Structures are given as structure tokens and as C-alpha cells.
Structure 1
Amino acid sequence: MTLEAARMGVLKSAYESITREMAADLKRAAFSSIVREARDFSVALTDRRGEVIVQAECIPIMTAGISLALRGLAEHVDIDALTPDDALLMNDPYSGGQHLQDIYLFTPIFLDGRLVAFAASVAHHVDVGGGHAGLNAEATEVYQEGLRLPLSRFSVSRDWGGGFVDQLIRANVRVPDLVIGDLNAQFAANRTAERRFAELTARHGAEDFLDAMDELKDYAERRVRAAIARIPDGVHEVTEYLDASPWDGGTARVIAHITVDGDELRVDFDGSSPQINGNVNCPFASTVSAAQSAIRCMLDDQDLPFNEGCNRPITITAPYGSILNPRPPAAVRARLTPASRVFNAIVRGLGSVLPGQAVATGFDTTTAFAVSHLAAETGHYQVVLEILGGGWGACAEHDGADALDNPISNCANSPVEALETDYDHFRIAEYALVGGSGGDGAQRGGLGIRRVYEALRDGVRVSGYADRHRTGASGLSGGTEGGTGDFSITRADGTVQHLDCVFSEVLDTGDRIAVVTGGGGGFGDPAGRPADQRAADRAHQIA
């Protein structure tokens, strides 16, 4: 059945309204600051095969991977045996997941007793066990990073709300109230999808509403193919680098071979560095998600719907055993570092033949930072996880944005007031832009930030990871590179300790740690920057 265009537009908007309401409900119901304030989550609707039909505008790398997380659904679960009381959980990075902190929840949606769709939500959970609270910067195996959940079916009425699955998770995390609270927020978002799906099928007619699933995918595929066809055919090889020195890996390479052939696009990462004996490996699902996100950013059709149809003209491959497709049990917590270089490589490669889309490289590094404390007298943990952004790259039309998270991560700022209201083991002593951190050019790169945390208790553990602490983001068309990031501790006695880009330390009362992120690359010859913009830079102390 083919629906006419106006009817399809109405049904497309109806589907989108479901996921937007899911996102709003998940955020409102969440317990942890990483979900409630930073909005590190995504939601989507899939068809009964697990292919995404529509997603909300949340974290790109998470939602792009939902279809991958459900790809082997029929191999692991008897779909025909599912009931409205069933749910599926998974976070296994070697079975289509990302890293262990990102827990996917899928609940089936039935219509007149027939399984027709899945409500999907994924959130970054503040703690999933493992060697250290929040994140284990020292992990060399996935087993050291926390609880690993394969895609499996369970009964919500029996196994949740004090049942086996609930108890299993509670017993393996340090802050069960936050983790279970955020999972309950995911359940709430999924239930919203179930209710709205039933209401909208009743309003628009079940036959049309279900037929629109396949037509929306076909429509997205046609538009993506048309956009790819407007890119000149050719092969582009781009190499990006990341710092692997904390694991004696020197400088690791991400090499992208990008082939545009008619209305199809292939990216092969052959030649990329072998997997590393540390937590910086990128599961293949994350590699695919980052590549898909980059390609979408570079297409000239900027109003594309996102669903599985978008991915049909795109092929992504990476050698098994590489940093972009590691063998288990490699640790993968910092997978966004190589994933970001995947994004950068594709943007640079396609930007070379799409000058209107070209942009200098941004800091584009997830600076993840955990602050935890165990109260000896009670045995209770406080765990905070921060995701901090840097400067974005400039382009021909404007300066790069200041202090924004990585484009494929897209987390929001966690307000100082919210953190200090919820936690008493630290305070934030400083939060500011870093003047001069953006690369120079006719258009300036965006600025990084400086955020300083002061311990208010003895025994506050801090750990984190980042990249671009040795070399900044590259400029474009004559623009200069952005500033680098830095971690440093100033002890209460004034002693200063500089840290590696991956670290784990303990603070006592009065000790401070400064987390600095770098800026984006500049665009164009610096001599071409207008005098009034130079004056504004100096006036705001950002030059």
C-alpha cells in the first residue's frame, strides 16, 4: 500500500511526537545528574524486527546504534512468544551494545494481540560496578568495567520491582537508588510510547499507521541516496590520531577509506591501529554509529528523518581486532575517543569535495570525569559523572561554538547549582571559558572550558579520560589548531600534580582538581579576521 504525501506527512509527525514525549518523560523522571541534567540518553521506536522507525533528537551515537543492539533479536529471543509483560535489557558491547554504562531497554508494543513494534530507550548509568565508582580508567578487560548484560527477555511483573533482575542490578552497583531510578525512568518513557502508539493507531487507523513504518524507511532511503548521488564520485583516505600513550601505545591511528559510488557510500577502516590494552577501544556498533552520524552531517539535505532506511546506502567495515572493532574481552569504556576520530575523518574526507560543508576539526573529545566518595560510617557511596565539552571547529561562515560537547555525544551542561544541591563531597570552585584556546583564523575556533572541583571530604576519588592533551584540533584553510586539554591537581599545601589524559587519583579535603578542555581549529587565514571581531575577542578576553 502506498500512502499519499500529505497523509505520510501527518503520520511522520505522529510518530515523531511519540519519541519527543518519551524523551521529555525520561528526563523528568530520571534520578542521576548525568541523565537528568546532562541528558545522556536516547529514545526511539522500532518495528517488530528491531529497525528504527523514528528517534528523538538526543545522543546521536546511542540512537544510531539501537538497530544494531536489536539486530540479532530473533537469534536470542523467540519474538512470537513475547507478551506485553516482557522486556529486554542489554549493554553488552560485543553483541551490538556500546559500552557497559549504556543500558538499553526494549519493551514490546502490541496491537490487537499482535506484536507490531518496540519502544526503545538507552541511558548512560552513573555506575555499573567494576573496578572504580563511575568509571574504571585503569581497566584492561571489559570484566573490570562492570556488569555485562546480554540481550535477554524477562518478565516485568515477576523480575522487576524487587524481582530477580532488579536485585541482580542492585547488588552489583554502588548507587542502586540512582541506577534503578534511571531504569524506572526508561520504563516510564517506554510506557509512554505504548500508550501513545495505541492512541494514534486509533486516531489514524491501524492499517495506515503500520504501513507508514515501511514507507518512512523507504522515503528516508530515497532522500539519502539522492544526497549521496550529489557528492562527486571518488575515493578519499584520511588519517586521524589519538593519544594512546597511557597504555604504551604511542599515537594510535584511525584511517578511513571513503568511497562514493553513485548513490552509495562505503567507509573502510583498514589500516587503523590494533586494539589497545586499555579502555580506549571502540566496539563496532559505536564505530558504525559514529560513521553514520558523520555522513548525515555532511549531506546537503539537512532535514533528513532518521530511521534505518537512512543506513541502507551506507556500508561500514573495520578489521576485527582493531581499535575500531576489538576482540573481547578488550575494555571499551572510553570508546568515544576513537569514535570521535571516525567522525573527524569522515567530515574531513567529504569536506574536501564539499566546500560548502567543510569545517575545521573541533576539540571533539569526550572529557569524562567521575567524582565519588564512600562514607565509611554508613557504607554509602556518592557518585557523580560529568561529561564536559570543548570548542567546535570554525567554518567559512562563522566562528566555532564555545564549550559544547562532542557532536556525536551532545550531552548538556550539568549546572553547578544542581550538583552542589545533590552532593556534599565536593564543590565547584571555578567554571570559565579558556581564553585563547580557539584556533586563530578568519573565523576563530570555539573555546574550551576550565572547571575546578574542590574536595570537601577526605578520600574523594576522581578519575577521568580525554584526548588532545598533546596536540590540538587541526585548523582548515590556513586556520591554526585549537588549544589542548589538561588535568591537574593542586593539593591543599600548594603542591601541583599534572596528570595524564587518563588517570585515577584520590583527593583529601581542600585538594582541587582542574579539568581543562581544548578549543576548536580555526578556519581561513588569520590575517582575514575583521578588526571589529579582533577587538571583540580582546574585550571579552578570549583572544
Structure 2
Amino acid sequence: MQNQATLSPIKLQVVWTRLMSLVEEQAQTLLRTAFSSIVRECGDLSAGVFDTSGRMLAQAVTGTPGHINTMARAVFSFVDAIPVDTMSPGDIYVTNDPWKGTGHLNDYLVVTPAFRGDRVVALFACTGHMTDVGGIGLSPEGSDIFCEGVYIPIMKLADKGKFNETLMTIAKANSRVPTELEGDIYSLIASNETAERRLQELLDESSLDDLSEVAEHIISTSRAAMGERIAALPYGKATYRMTIDGFEAPVELVGTLKIDDAGVSFDWTGTSGMSKNGINVPLNYTTAMTAYALVCSIAPDLPNNEGGLSLFHVSAPNTSIVNAERPHPVACRHIIGLLLPDVVFGCVQQLLPSCPTPSEGASTQWTLTFRGGRTEDPYAISIVTNGGSGARPGLDGLSATSFPSNVRGTPTEIVESSTPLVFWKRELREGSGGAGQWRGGLGQDLEISSLDGRDFTLFAAFDRIDHPARGRSGGEAGRAGELSLSSGPTLPGKGALVIKAHERLIVKTPGGGGYGKPSERDVEASVMDRLIGYIA
């Protein structure tokens, strides 16, 4: 094998590029083989390669920032719990620990060591959202972590190639969709196995024994590049506040961005205290979404890995709703977690006015989690339906688009072919985007019912109903979200809601805020808005 101390800059870059390609194939394997529609159709997943100390070297483009940036921290927990020198070929590890994984029990994180001979040379990790892991499930009504589902600490999913049948039996026995859960777990395993095979091919072709020198090159180069971007920023401090619906009471999100000699830090002091319900956010998810917004603002073109992420410092009081500690309920941590970037962007605009930060958007996913069917043949499904994103300088907001997450909307055909649910209407919501020089993105207008003659339950986990997305720089707010029945009654945005068999559920997702004064909007753009039905 080649002496790795002599690797040329070109070869280092080629191997780095190959690693980024390799983890994309890893993610695509998961996408193609997953059983749950939220992974297979929507891409609610992540995949990446890590060095033997747990540092993320490359992440797949396919995936969500909440999964990717929590996974970047999670592998350190695996290495701490199971030292690399104790791992054996054929070992596979798993957890859904919200504080060591991705923030709630529905996400399974699988880590597989890659061996070269008898030595671990890399770790592959991937995450996928499981539709149902038992307990109360993906509902904000839980009172603690123990009622939200089956909790799996960091442990072996396979030991030297022998599969942990006991773990699988327990997990399946507690899921309402056991076959889907089992298939998703196997898809996570297959994802890492694909990446491991490709790594062996890469090492053979490159005549390398391991990735040690390549890893140091990736981390040091990325850290230096991010350091240069940070060094060019003006020093300062900015605070931004945003009120959101919350559950039992409105929640105040307060963030402070500071840029000084120590670098870039973001603190959530001033944010509301913890909720008694499952909308609390573990700090790992708070950190992931905060860092994502900072990277988007400061260095969106740099590769995302431990080198760059290590330069951002995120903190929050341990009494805060964005730093929930075990055993507080966190099942719907995405409701608040996905709204955090709006606060970060509000701070960034104050310190970096030339940065094209967007207005506030629908932000939180309006994921419709339904359960129904016969006792002996139940169904459970999570349907991604999104609102509008905020406008930004020079561009209108995106309609029916998930941001800052990037999961795709669930196709209607998939829902109707796998459940008795039917969509009577699914269209853009006219006039829901905030007016401005650049218009906010539109939400959606949906009508849903069931064809099996049975009641069904919606586990509502929505925000932006009482506090819509605000515009920026003179732009107007987007329309608030709405939830109601065809017979007229308005429904609350959070909680288990039984929809009677004869009713239709009406869902109107929020619009994004506008940017700039409406009077300054281009005349042709205003005419086009009316022609295509975006506004009346």
C-alpha cells in the first residue's frame, strides 16, 4: 500500500470528492429501499461517513438538516459508549435515544463500523424516521418520554453478524405497523452496507490503508475555510424575538447572536421554559437547526462536516423549552425546532444586512399523522404537507415547500393507495403568501376524509395558527394556518382529534412572510400573480 504521508493535494481532493459521492449513494439506497412513505417518498433521512473518533467527514445532500446535524454529534456518543477498539466485523449499532440521536424516538440511527483487515477505518451512520414506534406516538400530548414510544439505548443491532432478534421482536411488538418498521430497519442496515462496499473499492483503487490522512485534510481544510469566513464578519451582538403558538400557552423564542474574538456564538436565553407536553426540544436538535441557519447565512457553499460545524457555539438554559432534558416529552420537537432558523435569520439580518436572509416562513412542517382502520388491521401514516417559505431579497418565497427542513410533500397517490384516506382537494391556497416587493410563498388548501366508513384520528402538531409568519423590511405577514371540519367547527392545532366518518377535515397551511414594501413590487409580477391565481 502507498505511504499515506505522500498523498498529493490532488489525490486528497479526489478521495474527498469520492466520499461525498459515496454517501449520496448511501442515502439513495435508504431512499429506494425504505418501507415508510415519509422516508421513501419524502426523504426524511440522513447518511454520512465518520472517522474513527466520530467526526463527520461527509454527509449526503439527500436528507434533512435536523437529521444530518444531529447525526454529526450523535456518532461521538456511539464512540463514547462503545470504544472503536472493541468493535468487531459484523457489528451494527442502533439507538433512538432523543438526546444521543436526533431528538425524538421516531428516528432510528444505525451505525456500522467499516473494517480494513482487523482494523476499523471508518464509521457509517444513517437515520430514518419510523412511522410508529409504539406508545402515544408522534403526538404532542405525551407527559414524558416513557409514554412516547419504545426507547432503545445505544446497543448492538447485530453482534459479529448475528442479528439481535430479541430487539427486533420487542420493537415490532410495540409498533402499530410492525412490518413497515422491520423493513425500515433493514433498509438502514442496507444503506450502511452499500457505503461500506464502496469505501472498500475506493481504498483499493487509491492504494490506501485507511482514511486517517484524508480525514485530517477534510477537517483542517474545512475548519480553515470556515474560519476565514468568520474572521471577515463584523463584530457585534443582535437579539431577535418571535412569538409562536405553543401548546398550553404561547411560546417566546429569544435568540442572541454574538460575533467577537471567540468566533460565532448563539444563545437562547430568554426563551420560554419547558412545556408539560411533547413540544420540547433537546439541545442537540436546537444546536442542529441553529447551526444550519448560521451556515446558510455565512458559508452556504462550504462542505458541511465537523471542521466547519465545530466553530459554532450554541447554548440555552437547561430550564428552556429548547434545552429539554430527559425525561421531558419531546415527540414533536420539530414543531418548535424548525421555527428556530427564523430567529437566527432575524439576528443575522441585523448584523449582516447585506446577507439575503428570508422573511419568516411557515417553517414548521404541517405533517398530518393519522391512525385508523379496524382493530385487527390498523393503519398509521405521516403525510408531509407544507406551507410557504418566506420571501428574500430578489426572490419570492417558495410555495408548499418545507424549509428549513427539505422533506418533500407526500404524494396524494401514495396515501390513497395505502390507506382508506382520500384527498378531495389539494391545491395552493390563494392569497396566503404575505405581500411585499417579493411575495411570500403560498400554503396549501386540503380536504381529507376516509372511505372505510370509520372514524379516524389526526394527531395535530401544528403552529403558525395564532401567530403567522411575519414579513421583513416592510413586507406583510403570511396568512395564518387553519384547521377545521367541513361542518364548520374550528379545531385546535395540537392534540389527538377524532374525525368522524361522515366529516371532511379542512387543512389550510400557513403562508410565508413578504419581503420589502408591497408598493415596490414589479408591475408585471403583480399581474402574473393574478393571472395564475396566486392572489385574487
TM-score in terms of structure 1 length: 0.94
Say if 1:104 and 1:122, in contact at 8 Å, map to a contact too. Answer: yes
Aligned CA distance change for structure 1 residues 74 and 106 (closer, same or farther; 3 Å): closer
Structure 1 position 508 matched with structure 2 position 510: no
2:139–2:495 CA contact under 8 A, matched in 1: no
- SS of the aligned residue for 2:336 comes to helix
User: How big is the shift at 1:284?
Assistant: 0.7
CA distance, structure 2, for counterparts of residue 415 and residue 2 of structure 1: 51
Counterpart in 1 of 2:114?
109
Among 58, 64, 72, which residue is 1:59 paired with?
Answer: 64
CA spacing shift, 1:174–1:265, aligned 2, 3 Å: same
- 1:394 is paired with a residue of what secondary structure? coil
**Count of aligned pairs:** 528
SS, match of residue 189 in structure 2:
helix
Q: CA RMSD in A?
A: 1.7
Distance 1:218 1:2, change over 3 A: farther
For 1:175 and 1:395, the matched residues in 2 are separated by 41
State the Cα deviation string for residues 461-519 of structure 1 (Å, max 9, x = none). 221211110121111111001111111122xxxx2221111031223333211222111
Who is 1:239 aligned against? Answer: 241
Q: What is the rounded CA distance, in whole Å, between the counterparts of 1:482 and 1:405 in structure 2?
A: 15
Query: Structure 1 segments of 4 or more deviating over 4 A?
Result: 156-159
Alignment of 1:271-290 (within 5 A): 271-290=270-289
Alpha-carbon distance in 1 for matches of 2:179, 2:388: 34
Task: Specify the alignment match of 1:213 in structure 2.
Answer: 215
Which of 76, 80, 86 aligns to 1:71? It is 76
* Map 1:112-123 → 2, pairs under 5 A: 112-123=117-128
Aligned partner (choices 425, 428, 431) of residue 430 of structure 1: 425
* Aligned with 1:518 (options 510, 515, 527): 510
Displacement after TM superposition at 1:396 (Å): 1.6
Q: Which residue of 1 aligns with 2:407?
A: 411
Correspondence 1:455 to 2:450: yes
Determine helix, strand or coil for the equivalent of 1:357: coil
Q: CA deviation at 1:282?
A: 0.3
Which residue number corresponds to residue 344 of structure 1?
A: 342
Cα offset, 1:175, TM superposition: 0.5
Letter in 2 for 1:42: S
Partner in structure 2 of residue 12 of structure 1: 16
Q: Which amino acid aligns with 2:82?
A: V
2:389 to 389, 392, 408: 392
The structure 2 residue matched to 1:41, chosen from 30, 45, 52, is: 45
What letter corresponds to residue 237 of structure 2 in structure 1? V
Partner of 1:230: 232
Counterpart of 2:383 in 1: which secondary structure?
A: strand
Identify the residue that residue 188 of structure 1 maps to in structure 2.
190
Structure 2: how far apart are the matches of 1:519 and 1:259? Answer: 30
Matched-pair contact (CA < 8 Å) for 2:244–2:466 = no
C-alpha displacement of 1:37: 0.5
Equivalent residues of 2:428, 2:445 under 8 A apart? yes
- The residue identity in structure 2 corresponding to 1:259 is K
Match of 2:130?
125
> Which residue type is aligned with residue 350 of structure 2?
S
Once the two structures are superposed, the pairs formed by residues 86-485 of structure 1 within 5 Å of their partners are 86-132=91-137, 135-156=138-159, 160=163, 163-207=165-209, 209-244=211-246, 246-247=247-248, 250-262=249-261, 264-299=263-298, 301-354=299-352, 355-376=354-375, 379-407=376-404, 409-423=405-419, 425-457=420-452, 458-485=454-481
CA contact (8 A) 1:280 1:335 kept: yes
Distance 2:236 2:55 in 1: 30
| Structure 1 residue 96: Cα displacement | 4.5
Is the contact made by 2:237 and 2:351 (CA closer than 8 Å) also made in structure 1? no
Contact preservation (8 Å) 1:90, 1:97:
no
* Deviating more after overlay: 122-131 vs 258-267: 258-267
The Cα offsets for residues 348-393 of structure 1, whole Å up to 9 and x where unpaired, read as: 11122322322211111121211222413xx122111012211111
How far, CA to CA, are the matches of 2:313 and 2:358 in structure 1?
Answer: 24
Q: Structure 1 residues 111, 340: closer, same or farther in 2, change over 3 A?
A: same
Q: Which runs of 5+ in 2 are unaligned?
A: none
Q: Which residue among 485, 498, 501 is the counterpart of 2:490?
A: 498
Distance, in Å, in 2 between the alignment partners of 1:225 and 1:438 is 37
Whole-angstrom distance in 1 between the partners of 2:161 and 2:358: 52
- Rounded Cα–Cα distance in structure 2 between residues aligned with 1:29 and 1:108: 21
Query: In the superposition, relative to structure 1, how do residues 239 and 380 fare at CA in structure 2: closer, same or farther (>3 Å)?
Result: same
CA–CA distance in 2 between the matches of 1:40 and 1:535?
37
SS at match of 1:253: strand
State how far apart, in whole Å, the 2-side matches of 1:43 and 1:413 are: 20
Judge conservation of contact 2:362–2:389 (CA < 8 Å) in 1. yes
Gapped regions of structure 1 (runs ≥ 5): none
Question: Secondary structure of the residue that 1:441 maps to in structure 2?
Answer: coil
Give CA deviations for 1:130-161 in whole Å, capped at 9, x if unaligned: 125xx223212111110111112243577637
Distance 1:356 1:44 in 2: 29
Deviations 1:260-312 (A, max 9, x none): 1147101111121111101110001101101110111101x332111111122
Corresponding residue SS for 1:241 = strand
Q: Deviations over 1:25-83 (max 9, x none)?
A: 11111111111111111111111122111000111111111132222334422331211
Identify if the C-alpha distance between structure 1 residues 137 and 326 changes in structure 2 by more than 3 Å, giving closer, same or farther: closer
Aligned-residue offset at 1:94: 2.9
Query: Alignment partner of 2:19: what SS?
Result: helix
Q: Deviations over 1:299-330 (max 9, x none)?
A: 1x332111111122111111112101112221
Q: Could you tell me whether the CA contact under 8 Å between 1:241 and 1:341 is conserved in 2?
A: no
Aligned residue for 1:44, secondary structure, equals strand
2:252 counterpart SS class: strand
Structure 2 counterpart SS, 1:398 = coil
Change in 2 beyond 3 A, CA 1:252/1:155: same
Shift of 1:3: 4.6
Q: Give % identity.
A: 28
